[in-house]
Chain A
Amino acid sequence: MDPIREAMLHPSRSARLERRGKLISFLCIALIVLVVVAIFAFVAWHGLATFFENKINLWDFLSKSVWSPAVKDAHGNPEVGALPMIVGSFGVTFLSAIVATPIAVGAAIFMTEISPRWGSKVLQPVIELLVGIPSVVYGFIGLSVVVPVIRHVFGGTGFGILAGTFVLFVMILPTVTSMAVDALKAVPRHYREASLALGGTRWQTIYRVVLRAGMPGILTGVVFGMARAFGEALAVQMVIGNASLLPQNLVSPASTLTSVLTSGIGNTVMGSLENNALWSLALLLLLMSLAFNLVIRWIGKKGEMK
């Protein structure tokens, strides 16, 4: 047969490669989705058992403030009120994000707009190192440095939301910063040039143009940081005090969903109410981060430059 005709009728090597590449990358994402679905199903299965099998009232779970699943209250219902943990988790997450965001964004601006040379030579490695410090070590430093300082300054035991905020702030700083850097770097150069050509100062350019254009990316970075703060367990657990009490102030012992989950899970028996109640906390954790994600996505869409 005519070799040209042959070549035209059959897909080229390149096209085969294309198809194979697409398939491989699709398989990768499919595998990840499968894992995500498996974990969701796993957590939901155990977490929902509290409500369906053990007949706990969902509203009680969300609004009561006594957490003691092994003990029954006056009406013979187990006491599974997750409100203190919900408040604690949100408290440390929002506070640490509020503290970390301006600093992270400031550092990102420094690295991209003011002194890229210093930024990539010094700040970048510093930030990557901060990520590498294991949470156990953060927790330990929190326990031996942050807690005594807080006790000294504010009184009380030193354990509480404030100590948790401090530790988490340092822990999420690198995540937020590096994502903010990526966001700012992605802002096209001609935006800056246009602003400077109009006579804007460097700060005006940064504030009015670069930050605006990079906003969705920065917000994503903040969610990521919040997500990490929300899910962080070991470090927070060491400094927050793990008391399932509604926090009275920032320096009274409190607890988070993760701290109760982590410290209790090894002590409970699979399938028992105590265990299911802990999985419900995990489910709550998932749902809350889902909510976070949706909210920020919405903000990101609104703030996008058209």
Chain B
Amino acid sequence: MKKALLAMLGLLALALGGCSTDGGESITAVGSSALQPLVEAAAEQYQTEHTGVFINVQGGGSGTGLSQIQEGAVEIGNSDLFAEQKSGIRAHKLVDHRVAVVGITPIVNPKVGVKNLTMVQLRRIFTGEITNWREVGGKNAPIVLVNRAQGSGTRATFEQWVLKGRQPKAAQEQDSTGMVRSIVASTPGAISYVAFSYVDDTVKAVALDGVTPTDAHVASNAWPIWSYEHMYTKGPPTGLTKRFLAYIQRPATQRKLVQKMGYIPITSMQVDRDATGKVTRR
């Protein structure tokens, strides 16, 4: 008992003493779980190329990323959404660094027998007006909607471009892409939406109005359901933060790493889009 207490005190002393012993420069990036793999991989590469720096990448969701960067608790806040789109964020204080683009596609259970939908059909499916696959040319099976959790960046993007302000039907919600995919893969008649890189052969991606979900179609904006991946800083970045952001945004990283990990390089986009959804050719 006494020994254990002593050990604990020793540990505490060690802990307090250890606070100030971090050598080298270190920064923390927190937020979007969709962006996390990319930032992690980039940080890993950066750290092997530049010794003595430490980049700590954590998930936690876009909301966490934006609130923590707003508080100034971390150096970088990762987000799937424009800061302007999140209530409770004073966006003008944050500086946006777009590091990649993510295309989002509807996916269905492979057995429903549908390859193509019109945008209107897709909208009516998610608002609950169409409830059977027969109505859109599939087999006779009820449609099972699977949504992402409220407030998720993927869901916000999907609803912005598909539902256009209409209310979705209340349905199942899952808070991660992996769960959504495995549920769609195993549930007959299920439909949901994921980022391109998560589509595999257990689910079927659906074309919209004849346009297939490909990187090229996103780059030309022929496929409208896509979003930027943002890394926000509070005020202009300095020091390691600045160098790291430049490293991710430089063409070489974009071409190799970003592409390899299934994101769409920001450099290949032919259009720009702002927080209100206005598209301009670049």
**Direct touching of A and B (C-beta under 8 Å):** yes
Chain A residues with a Cβ under 8 A of chain B: 24, 66, 68-71, 143-144, 147-148, 151, 157-159, 237-238, 241-245, 253, 255, 262-275
Task: Indicate if the CB atoms of A242 and B67 lie closer than 8 Å.
Answer: no
Question: In residues 156-184 of chain B, which contact A (Cβ within 8 Å)?
Answer: 167, 170-175, 179, 182-183
Task: Indicate if the CB atoms of B172 and A159 lie closer than 8 Å.
Answer: yes
- Asked whether B213 is an interface residue with its Cβ less than 8 Å from the other chain, the reply is no
Task: Indicate if the CB atoms of B173 and A243 lie closer than 8 Å.
Answer: yes
**Residues from chain A with Cβ under 8 Å of B89 in the complex:** 269
Interface residues of B, CB < 8 Å — how many? 35
Task: Indicate if the CB atoms of B149 and A264 lie closer than 8 Å.
Answer: yes
Contact A264-B151, Cβ < 8 Å, known A272-B87, A273-B87, A275-B88: yes
B63 contact from A24, A151, A244, A275, Cβ within 8 A: A275
**Residues from chain B with Cβ under 8 Å of A274 in the complex:** 87-88, 150-151
Give 12 pairs: A residue, B residue, CB < 8 Å, sorted on A.
Answer: A71-B167, A157-B144, A157-B190, A237-B175, A242-B173, A264-B150, A269-B70, A269-B89, A270-B71, A272-B88, A274-B87, A274-B151
For the residues of B in contact with A, the DSSP-based class is mixed
B25-69 interface code vs A (CB 8 A; 1 in, 0 out): 000000001000000000000000000000000011111101100
Excluding A267-B63, A270-B63, 8 further A-B contacts by CB distance (< 8 Å) are A70-B87, A242-B172, A263-B173, A266-B62, A269-B88, A273-B87, A273-B88, A274-B88
Task: Indicate if the CB atoms of A241 and B172 lie closer than 8 Å.
Answer: yes
A266 contact from B60, B70, B186, B187, Cβ within 8 A: B60
Please, how many angstroms separate the alpha-carbon atoms of A271 and B86 in the complex?
Answer: 12
Closest B residue to A238 by CB, please name it: B179
- Asked whether B254 is an interface residue with its Cβ less than 8 Å from the other chain, the reply is no
**Residues from chain B with Cβ under 8 Å of A264 in the complex:** 149-151, 175
Interface centre among B5, B66, B150 (most CB of A within 10 A): B150
Task: Indicate if the CB atoms of A148 and B175 lie closer than 8 Å.
Answer: no
A262 contact from B63, B66, B175, Cβ within 8 A: B175
Contact A70-B174, Cβ < 8 Å, known A267-B62, A273-B87, A275-B88: no
Task: Indicate if the CB atoms of B174 and A242 lie closer than 8 Å.
Answer: yes
Contact A267-B151, Cβ < 8 Å, known A157-B144, A275-B88: yes
Chain B residues with a Cβ under 8 A of chain A: 5, 33, 59-64, 66-67, 70-71, 86-89, 144, 149-153, 167, 170-175, 179, 182-183, 186-187, 190
Task: Indicate if the CB atoms of B150 and A68 lie closer than 8 Å.
Answer: yes
Contact A268-B151, Cβ < 8 Å, known A157-B187, A242-B174, A263-B175: yes
Task: Indicate if the CB atoms of B67 and A265 lie closer than 8 Å.
Answer: no
Please, how many angstroms separate the alpha-carbon atoms of A271 and B167 in the complex?
Answer: 25
Rounded to whole Å, the gap between the CB of A69 and the closest CB of chain B is 7
Closest A residue to B5 by CB, please name it: A24
Interface centre among A71, A158, A244, A264 (most CB of B within 10 A): A264
A66 contact from B60, B64, B170, B182, Cβ within 8 A: B170
B67 contact from A71, A143, A269, Cβ within 8 A: A269
Rounded to whole Å, the gap between the CB of A107 and the closest CB of chain B is 33
**Residues from chain B with Cβ under 8 Å of A267 in the complex:** 61-63, 149-153, 175
Nearest first, the 7 closest Cβ-Cβ pairs linking A and B are: A266-B61, A272-B88, A267-B151, A263-B175, A269-B88, A263-B149, A270-B67
Closest A residue to B86 by CB, please name it: A269
Rounded to whole Å, the gap between the CB of B227 and the closest CB of chain A is 14
Task: Indicate if the CB atoms of B88 and A265 lie closer than 8 Å.
Answer: no
Please, how many angstroms separate the alpha-carbon atoms of A241 and B187 in the complex?
Answer: 12
Task: Indicate if the CB atoms of A269 and B172 lie closer than 8 Å.
Answer: no
Task: Indicate if the CB atoms of B170 and A158 lie closer than 8 Å.
Answer: no
Task: Indicate if the CB atoms of B64 and A266 lie closer than 8 Å.
Answer: yes
